[in-house]
Chains A and B, each alone.
Chain A
Amino acid sequence: MTSSCSTLPERDQPSTGELELTVARRGGVSHARHQFHRGALRILRPIHLDGSGQVCYTVVNPGGAFLGADHYRMDITVKEKASLLLTTQSATKVYRTPQGPATQDVRLVLGPGAILENIPDQLIIYRDGSYRQTTRVIMHPGASLVSAEVITPGWSPDGERFRYQELRLRTEVRVGDAHASRIFAIDQLRLEPGVDALDGVGQLEGHSHIGQLLVVDWRVDTELVDVVSGLCVQSGLRAGVSSIGITTDDGVRGLVVRSLGHRTEDVVHLHESVTNHVRHLWRGQGPLALRKY
């Protein structure tokens, strides 16, 4: 269904931190055409990690953590044929939020042929913390998206693992542009330790770390899903992959990888192995070199 896009993040809501970044390509190299930040969100100087022309921006939260009722907003646009690797300087930490959940609204807009790899560090949610993240992706059918999340429980004084209140991540991927788009896929994560026993069947099943990786690109096919399934098996994690989304004649395809494990680096390794595979397969680009682990 084509509909006007009325789902942009609220701009009048007071924000703890705001970040806007528009990346465009000029002379084969991607660079920022527009950037703006306010409050507790900043970006480091851009770096070009390889010879592909891709620019890497690192998001920093100088405050160090998300607190109760904090509201963050990120608005990232990758213009035609530009390529952006977006990452963070360190883990996102959500501490106690007695004033209400910390929230983050993220908007990712990808133009024709645009490439976005969104590979933040892990999200750590501590005792009595609540966090809601809403991500809205609007992408051209010829764009390419990889987006990863790693979620871990924070330390709790009594040693119990899941003492946070609520964790909600919702990512909606639409195909089109700011004027007209259709729904493609919705990726959700909801954990409520107070309501559900998280160790139980169907929940985390004895694991502590969660991984989610979304790949949306017209070149996703059953062969790629098979390769990624092999990477899931090799990872040793409790992991699954499936093709996702509403397929229409605009040709957009996607896959999602979900995993449960015991260590951040294991989940990160699975995400990097999938990302590196599609980098090589689709662009002949070398592996991610974030050098964090």
Chain B
Amino acid sequence: MLAMAQLTDSAVPTGAFSHSLGFETYLSRGEVDSAASFAEWLRMFVAQQLTFTDALAIRLAHGAAGFEEVADLDDLLTAQALPRQVREGQATMGQRLLSIAAENVPGPWLDDYRARVASGRLHAHPALVLAVVGRNVGQRVDDVVAQHLFATVVSLTQNAVRGIPLGQNAGQRVQGMARTWVLTAVERSATLTREDLGAISPGLEIAQMQHERQRARLFMS
């Protein structure tokens, strides 16, 4: 449990603080400008991207029969991430997390994963790294999903606190609401199949694509 706590802590230097994963586009459009509008965006993000990509990927990797299945999932996650900044951001964050995990929580598959990323054959994704670690330390899959999703919620909220900006207390209230959304995502992702991986809504993807062209940017995605 503490291994997961270490890797999902917001102090882990994966670079998550520099990725808005699309919300900065809404910020620049003036559509996200308050705690309430950010909360609405975050609820959508948890129900879409975090449910259909991260949560589902963790479930599939946690139950993998061998590392080849994880490698296939790495390919699928890269292939389905159409917005370039999201694809590159997940790989950058995944690679940092993979190095930290391989060093601090060594276990089966991590060295293999790291070697194939180093050779350029795989890309790395934070959800897959956490699924492998969670599996190695005997953490239940629902808990791994919940921990990763909530960690992502925390980093996005902290980014919103700086970017919008919001007060720290308002940020905490959004995170409080998000606990329910994360639990819903844990349940819904259990009903999905491999074909559903990455099936998210068009408005979010367009915002993530438009971010590439935004003039003044605080975030890399």
In angstroms, Cα B208 to Cα A205, docked, is 14
16 chain-A/chain-B pairs, Cβ below 8 angstroms: A183-B79, A185-B80, A188-B80, A188-B200, A190-B52, A196-B47, A200-B44, A201-B37, A201-B44, A204-B203, A240-B207, A240-B210, A241-B209, A244-B84, A256-B82, A259-B206
Q: A185–B79 contact, CB under 8 A?
A: yes
Report whether over half of chain B's contact residues are helix, strand or loop; otherwise say mixed. helix
Kindly state whether residue B94 has any CB partner on chain A within 8 Å.
no
Identify B48's interface contact among A170, A172, A202, A238, CB under 8 A.
A202
B contact residues around A244 at 8 Å (CB): 82, 84, 87
A contact residues around B197 at 8 Å (CB): 186
Kindly state whether residue B109 has any CB partner on chain A within 8 Å.
no
**Smallest Cβ distance from B25 to chain A, in angstroms?**
9
Which residue of chain A is the closest to B210 with respect to CB atoms?
A240
Identify B203's interface contact among A168, A172, A241, A260, CB under 8 A.
A260
Which residue of chain B is the closest to A3 with respect to CB atoms?
B72
Name, among B48, B202, B213, the residue most crowded by chain A CB atoms within 10 Å (CB to CB): B202
Kindly state whether residue B45 has any CB partner on chain A within 8 Å.
yes
Q: Within residues 163 to 221 of chain B, which ones have a CB less than 8 A from any CB in chain A? A: 195-210, 212-213
Name, among B40, B71, B84, B204, the residue most crowded by chain A CB atoms within 10 Å (CB to CB): B84
In angstroms, Cα B204 to Cα A203, docked, is 7
B: which residues have CB within 8 A of A?
Answer: 26, 31-32, 37, 40-41, 44-45, 47-48, 52, 71-72, 75-76, 78-80, 82-85, 87, 123, 195-210, 212-213
**Smallest Cβ distance from A180 to chain B, in angstroms?**
15
How many A-B Cβ pairs are below 8 Å?
102
Which residue of chain A is the closest to B31 with respect to CB atoms?
A201
Q: B71–A258 contact, CB under 8 A?
A: no
Q: A185–B82 contact, CB under 8 A?
A: yes
**Smallest Cβ distance from A1 to chain B, in angstroms?**
6
In angstroms, Cα B197 to Cα A206, docked, is 26
Residue count of chain A within 8 Å CB distance of chain B: 37
Q: B45–A202 contact, CB under 8 A?
A: yes
Q: A203–B84 contact, CB under 8 A?
A: no
**Smallest Cβ distance from A215 to chain B, in angstroms?**
12
Q: A258–B79 contact, CB under 8 A?
A: no
Q: A245–B202 contact, CB under 8 A?
A: no
B contact residues around A242 at 8 Å (CB): 82-85, 208-209, 212
Which A-B residue pairs are the 4 nearest by beta carbons?
A240-B209, A190-B199, A202-B44, A202-B204
Q: A1–B82 contact, CB under 8 A?
A: no
In angstroms, Cα B39 to Cα A200, docked, is 13
In angstroms, Cα B75 to Cα A246, docked, is 8
**Smallest Cβ distance from B32 to chain A, in angstroms?**
8
**Smallest Cβ distance from B54 to chain A, in angstroms?**
15
**Smallest Cβ distance from B100 to chain A, in angstroms?**
24
In angstroms, Cα B84 to Cα A256, docked, is 10
Q: B206–A245 contact, CB under 8 A?
A: no
**Smallest Cβ distance from A118 to chain B, in angstroms?**
18
A contact residues around B83 at 8 Å (CB): 240, 242
In angstroms, Cα B202 to Cα A204, docked, is 7
B contact residues around A188 at 8 Å (CB): 80, 198-200
Q: B78–A246 contact, CB under 8 A?
A: yes
Q: A201–B202 contact, CB under 8 A?
A: no
Which residue of chain A is the closest to B48 with respect to CB atoms?
A202
Q: Within residues 252 to 269 of chain A, which ones have a CB less than 8 A from any CB in chain B? A: 256, 258-260
In angstroms, Cα B198 to Cα A170, docked, is 10
Kindly state whether residue A87 has any CB partner on chain B within 8 Å.
no
B contact residues around A246 at 8 Å (CB): 75, 78-79, 123
Kindly state whether residue A191 has any CB partner on chain B within 8 Å.
yes
In angstroms, Cα B87 to Cα A182, docked, is 18
Q: A201–B78 contact, CB under 8 A?
A: no
